[in-house]
Every structure is written in structure tokens, then in C-alpha cells.
Amino acid sequence: MPDERSKRQDLPLARAEQGSETQAEQLVRDNIAWMLALAERILRDRGLAEDAVQEAFMAAFRGLDSFEGRSTLKTWLHRITVNASLSKLRQLKRLAERPIDEYLPEFDRHECRIEARWTYLAPLQDVLENDDLRARVSESIDALPESYRIVLQLRDIEGYDTSEVAELLKISASNVKVRLHRARAALKKLLEPILRGEVRR
Amino acid sequence: MTNHHKTGFRRWLKGLTLKRVHRMITCREFEDFVLSYLDGELPDRQRSVFEWHMRICRECRDYLAAYKRAEELGRAVLPSPNDPLPKDVPEDLINAILDAREL
């Protein structure tokens, strides 16, 4: 996350801390839409996202004392929302590591890659401009186990770096890298019919 | 010789060649370096061995091109912070949050 420094006294949060109900309400109204969207990107479910955002605001109100203005209000709330969403995934046991081996590259006994010849590789725009193909890409991403999809979402989309993702997921940085690579390799395998031009609806 | 056997033979020959080239990596080792290579984190010497392997090995070259395309597609299709925000934030959710704060 970009960490733009900002003075605490300028923040509406500091005013909310002082207890005005209107200011607390303003804080909620100003931020709830993007927090809801973020939680839904992680949880892929609107109802769960609403629960997570409610918990995130509770954690934010409770943690006002620990917010020292070292990051912007948005950066701080972003992380709280991600944590609340991940905690939901954990409660639902959706972050448990599931085998992904069937989608990973194969090698022969001489450690040579077993890869069918590529005679065509679909251009990016051709896939993105076709709604059916786009939908199939989304379905393939949904087919990834949650523990892999979440690494793609946090690192490639939400802008967290490897060590931040490691901290959020409570795993080591090297494990984040392994999962990220496996997630991309598995996605390549799942997308092969599209990438090879075998599916052109 | 069937196509299947030809492919197997070619792969065996390539495996043998790669093993004889000084400091060359196998395809499995290539796989372990992919992420660091794409992140620009490989030290110079490892990067040149990686790129050398790619020049020799069509399978790894094609694999990496497809891997990168899949990654680009993933980035483009995964829901993004740039997507439009929901306009219908339920009022009862806002009230529930504010009520809970008062408890």
C-alpha cells in the first residue's frame, strides 16, 4: 500500500475519537463503500463482506489509540478491513491449504519439462474483449483453492508486497512466493484451452 | 517411430545436452527461478543462465510466455480497486455499526 504520511490532527478519525456521534457517522459514511468493495473482493460474497466491514469498523473504533498517524487513514482502514475479511475466511476454514498438484507443471525423470507444443498464444486483448472468454477466465480463477487465489488478490491486485502478504496471512515470505508462483502456474494450466485458442466463443 | 516416441526422444536428447552444458540448469530448476526472474530479483549470473536455458529449451520458452499471459489475464480479470464502488450501501448496515459503537 502506498504509505502517504499525513498529520493526525487533519484526520476525521481523530475527531471521531473525541466522541462526536456525527463525526463517527461521517467516518463510516465516507469509507464504507470502498471497504465493502474490498471485503467483497476478498470474500466473494456480499453478506460475508457486510459482516467483515462491521467487524472492521468495530476494530477501528477500538484501535483508535494505536493509530499513530504513521500511515494515512485509508491505509490503516484498508489493512483492518483485509484482516477482518481474512479472519472470516479462517473462521469458514476456507484458507486451509488444498493440494493443487494436478495443475502444476510436469517433468520427466531427467527433469525435462513435459509441455505440449504451442503453435498459438491468444493475444491479451482478444480474450479481454470477448465477454464469454472473460467470464471463463473468472471461472478459472474461482477454481483455484482460496489459499492461492487470495495471494494473487493481495499481491497482484491490492498492492501489498510479499512481506506484507506474509504478515496478513501469517505465513512465511518464502511460502507466499511459493503460493504466488503455484497460483500463476495453475492459472496457466486452467486457462490453456483459451490461451491455445481452442475455445473461441 | 510415432510422434509420441519422437517427442520423448527429443526430450531425452535435450535433457542429456542440458546436463553436459557447464552450469546449465534443468527445466525443474528453471521452474524454481521463474518468479524471481519475473520480479527482477535474480542475480546477474543466475539470470543469464536462466535466459540461456530459455534459448535452448523451447518448452520452457513457450511455458514462460503462456505463464506470463495467464498472469496478465488474471490481473485484468480479478476484481480491482478501480472497479466502480457499490452505490447501494444499506442504511441498516451503517446504523448497525453506529449502534454497536455505542454499546
Mean pLDDT on A134-160: 93
Higher pLDDT, B21 or A116: A116
Q: pLDDT of A23-33, one tens digit each?
A: 788 889 999 99
Partner residue opposite A115 with nearest CB, options B29, B59, B77: B59
What pTM value is reported for the model? 0.84
Same domain, A163 and A140: yes
Q: What is the CATH number of the domain that holds A113?
A: 1.10.10.10
Residue in B63, B69, B73 closest to A105 by CB = B63
**Same domain as A123, residue A55:** no
Tell me, yes or no, whether A84 lies in a domain. Answer: yes
CB contact under 8 A, A110 and B26: yes
Which uninterrupted H or E stretch holds B18?
A: helix B3-20
CA distance B50 to B39: 13
Considering A62, A91, A120, which residue would you say is the last residue of a domain? Answer: A91
Residue of A nearest to B98 (CA): A25
State what percent of residues in chain A have pLDDT above 90.
70
What's the grid cell of residue A169? 496471512
Residues A115 and A180 in one domain: yes
Domain holding A32: CATH number? 1.10.1740.10
Q: How much is the mean pLDDT over chain A?
A: 87
Determine what percent of chain A is predicted with pLDDT higher than 70: 87
**Grid cell for residue A51:** 459482516
Q: Quick one: A72 and A139 in the same domain?
A: no
Residue A85 has pLDDT above 80, yes or no: yes
End-to-end, the C-alpha distance of chain A in Å comes to 38
Confidence of residue A131 (pLDDT cuts 50, 70, 90): very high
State the pLDDT at residue A10: 46
pLDDT, position A9: 41
The pLDDT value given to residue A6: 42
Domain stops at, among A91, A114, A139: A91
**Smallest CA–CA separation between B45 and chain A, in Å?**
21
- Domain span at A38: 8-91
**Residue A60 located in a structural domain:** yes
CA of A166 to nearest chain B CA: how many angstroms apart?
Answer: 16
Q: Using one digit for the tens of pLDDT, what is the confidence trace for B6-29? A: 777 777 777 777 777 767 899 999
Say whether both A105 and A190 belong to one domain.
yes
Cell numbers at A142, concatenated: 474461482
Q: Is residue A3 part of a domain?
A: no
Would you say residue A148 has pLDDT above 80? Answer: yes
A69 and A134 both lie in a single domain: no
Element (H, E) at A92: none
* A85 and A120 inside one domain: no
Please identify, among A91, A121, A153, the residue that sits at the C-terminal boundary of a domain: A91
Does residue A1 lie within any of the structural domains?
Answer: no
- Residue A177: which pLDDT band, with cuts at 50, 70 and 90? very high
Contact (CB, 8 A) for B37 and B50: yes
Q: Which of A3-7, A8-12, B63-67 ranks highest by mean pLDDT?
A: B63-67
- Is A55 a domain residue? yes
Q: How many structural domains does chain A have?
A: 2
Return the pLDDT at A82.
98
Q: Dihedral (C-alpha) A142, A145, A146, A151: value to the nearest 10 degrees? A: -100
A166 plus A108 within the same structural domain = yes
**Are A14 and A60 within one domain?**
yes
